[in-house]
Amino acid sequence: MSLKPWIGGPALAGLLLFPLFVGCSEGGCGDESEGMSGQSGPVTSGGSSSRGGSGGEVGVPRGAAEPRKAADESSKKASEGKPPERPAAPDLLSSALEPVDAATFKPKVIKRPEALVSLYFPGCSDCDLVAPVLKTLSGDLKGKVDFYRMDTSVPENLALLPRGFTVRAYPSFLLYREGSVVSWKQGLPFESREAAGESPAETTEEYQGRLSQWFKDSLARGTLAGSP
């Protein structure tokens, strides 16, 4: 019996397929989805898979590398006992009133007939709460009372406070008349009904409305709830 058909058939096919099997064993020949999990496929510099396009991390959708990096940094700070950084909250009082400092205090406050100076500290939630009230009043009482804000986190500004005056709450308010402090108020004049345990509860707008009326009445009397 001749061996030529046997050699030319299955044996020849085996010889032709042998390099393919060798290539699969070396390159992985896994399922195409494995490239998304980082189990196969070459990785270029920068951490990107040659299958997944450019940018990002292996197994991470494009554009997701930065959020993961930020999360890893927050986790690292937490493990080191450091609180994660938070974005700064908007300072509403800063945008509501004109500022005064050591350079502008005398011409804007001391030399004006009447001025209300709001003492605040960046990040003060009650300062943000009263900000729209004071902004509206500054327009309603324009020409009668000037409204300003002063950042007490600046050491030079503390020297502008009346002698013996110590800020004990934020915001605090100083009422100046003809260059002298005639009255002051530490903190907001009253709590919301909900905070005071009263009912019915009021909305933020309703509470701000009561604050507005209190300032109007106090400025009309020429005195706040307190004296220097």
Tens place of pLDDT for every residue, the chain, 228 residues? 444 444 455 544 444 444 444 444 444 444 433 333 333 333 333 333 333 333 333 333 333 344 344 445 545 544 555 544 444 445 677 778 999 999 999 999 999 999 999 999 988 999 999 999 999 999 999 999 999 999 999 999 999 999 889 999 999 999 999 999 999 999 999 998 988 889 888 999 999 999 999 999 999 999 996 444
What is the identity of the amino acid at 138? Answer: S
Token pair in block for residue 69: 């990096």
User: Does residue 54 lie within any of the structural domains?
Assistant: no
Check: CB of residue 135 under 8 Å from CB of residue 92. no
User: Does residue 142 lie within any of the structural domains?
Assistant: yes
User: Does residue 27 lie within any of the structural domains?
Assistant: no
**Listed residue (51, 68, 50) closest to 60, CA to CA:** 68
User: Does residue 129 lie within any of the structural domains?
Assistant: yes
pTM: predicted TM-score of the whole model, two decimal places: 0.59
User: Does residue 69 lie within any of the structural domains?
Assistant: no
Q: How many CA atoms lie within 13 A of 49 on its CB side?
A: 18
CATH, residue 98: 3.40.30.10
User: Does residue 116 lie within any of the structural domains?
Assistant: yes
pLDDT at 74: 46
User: Could you give the number of structural domains in the chain?
Assistant: 1
Check: CB of residue 75 under 8 Å from CB of residue 83. no
**Residue 179: which domain range?**
92-186+197-221
User: Does residue 165 lie within any of the structural domains?
Assistant: yes
